[in-house]
Amino acid sequence: MANRSRRAFTLVELLVVIAIIGLLVGLLLPAVQAAREAARRSQCQNNLKQLVLACHNHEQTRGTIPYAWYWPDTTPGVTNYYGWGTMILPYMEQQPIYDTYSFNYDWFAPENQAAVNARINTFLCPSSPDPTGDDLQVGLVALNAPRKGGPYPDRTAARADYISLRGYLNYWDPRGDTRFPGPMMNISDASAVGKAAVDVPLTLANITDGLSNTLMISEQTARHQFWLFGTRQPDITPATLATTPTSIHWGFIGMWAGWQSQWARCHAPSGLEDKTKQCTAYINANNNGGIYSFHPGGAQAAVTDGSVRFLMQSIDNEVLRALLTRGGGEPASFSN
C-alpha cells in the first residue's frame, strides 16, 4: 500500500482560522462584559435595597428616619459629628462595628479610627473603579470641621459609594439658592426657601409625596477620586482643596461613617455648578456634587418604599426634582 502523506495547513488557511477566532472573540467579549456589568449592577441594586430597609428598621425601632447628618451645632442632643451610616449599622448585620464605635467622640476622632476604617461591602458598588474598597479616604477627613480642630490629614476612613439624598439644591431659582428637602433631611419645609433650618424628627408619615414617589439613597461612586462625565480628573488633596472649584465638595462625604449625604445638584455642560450656564445634567456629570455611577446610561437609587430604580441620564429634570422632595406636592412619579 502506498504511503499517504498528510497535508499541512497552508499559510492562507491558518490566517483564515486565526481571523475567524479573532472575530468570534470580538463578538463574545462585549457579551461577556455586559454579563459581568449586569451582575455588578444587580449586586449594587441589592446593596441599595439593604440600606433603605435598614433605614426602615431604624424608623420602626427608634421612631425616626435616620438623619442625613448629625451636626452638633443644630441638632438637639447631639454633641459630636456622625452620619446616618453609623446609625443603621445594627440593622444591616454590623452590630460588632456599631459596638466598637463610641458616640462620645466625633466619627473622625482617634478613638473611632478602628471602627470607621472597617470596610463594609454593603456600602461599596462593584462597578466602582475600586470595587473592593481598598483605597481608604486618606487625608481628606474632617476638612470641614475647623470647630473640632481640623483638618486631620493623617486620619482615614473606609469609603462608601452611596449617599442619602437631602433633596435638591436649585441655583437657578429666581428666589436665589433654594433647598427642597428629601426624606432624610431633618429640616422643616419652611427652611427650603432660605429661612433658618429647624431640626425636626421625621417618620415615614412625613413623606407626603408618597413613599413610592420619593427617592431616599442613591449612588455617588468613587469619592476618593474626582470624575466628570466618566473621565477621571486630577485628585483633590488637602493641599489643593483651596484652589479647587467651589462645586467640588469633600470633607465629610465619601466615607460611610461621615455624613455621606448631599443635595442633588444640577450641573452645567462642563459638569460643574456654573450659575451663568444652563442647568443640563443631574446624573453622571460630577461624582462630587450629584448622583453618579459607573453603570452605562444612568445610576441606581433606592426609593423610600424599599424598591430600587435605575435612573436614566435622560430623565426629565423636573420629574427628577419632584422625586427628590418629600412633600413638594408635585404630581410626578416613575411612570411619568
pLDDT tens digits along 142-161? 444 445 655 666 778 888 89
307-321 average pLDDT score? 91
Instruction: Provide the 3-class DSSP secondary structure of residue 206.
Output: helix
Please count the structural domains in the chain: 1
**Confidence at 43, pLDDT banded by 50, 70, 90:** very high
267-283 average pLDDT score? 76
Buried b (16+ CB within 10 A) or exposed e, 107-122: bbbeebbebbebebeb
258-278 average pLDDT score? 76
Q: Which residue has the higher pLDDT, 236 or 11?
A: 11
Residue 301 lies in a domain: yes
Which of 33-42, 114-123, 188-197, 257-266 is predicted with the least confidence, judged by mean pLDDT?
A: 188-197
Residue 240 lies in a domain: yes
Residue 2 lies in a domain: no
In the predicted structure, residue 26 carries a pLDDT above the cut 90: no
pLDDT for the residue numbered 148: 60
In the predicted structure, residue 218 carries a pLDDT above the cut 90: yes
How does DSSP assign 244-260, residue by residue? S-TT---TTTTBTTS--
Residue 120 lies in a domain: yes
In the predicted structure, residue 294 carries a pLDDT above the cut 50: yes
**Confidence at 138, pLDDT banded by 50, 70, 90:** low
Residue 160 lies in domain: 34-324
Buried b (16+ CB within 10 A) or exposed e, 202-228: bebebbebebebbbbbbbbbbbbbbbb
Residue 231 lies in a domain: yes
Residue 203 lies in a domain: yes
Q: Are 182 and 290 in contact (CB under 8 A)?
A: no
- For 269, the grid coordinates are 455642560
329-333 average pLDDT score? 73
- pTM for the complete prediction? 0.82
Residue 177 lies in a domain: yes
Out of 146-155, 182-191, 202-211, 326-335, the most confident range is 202-211
pLDDT for the residue numbered 188: 59
Q: Please name the residues in contact with 251: beta carbons below 8 A apart, sequence gap of 6 or more.
A: 140, 142, 143, 144, 145, 258
Q: CA-to-CA distance for 97 and 110, rounded, in angstroms?
A: 15
Q: CA-to-CA distance for 89 and 98, rounded, in angstroms?
A: 6
Residue 148 lies in a domain: yes
Give the amino acid at 65. I
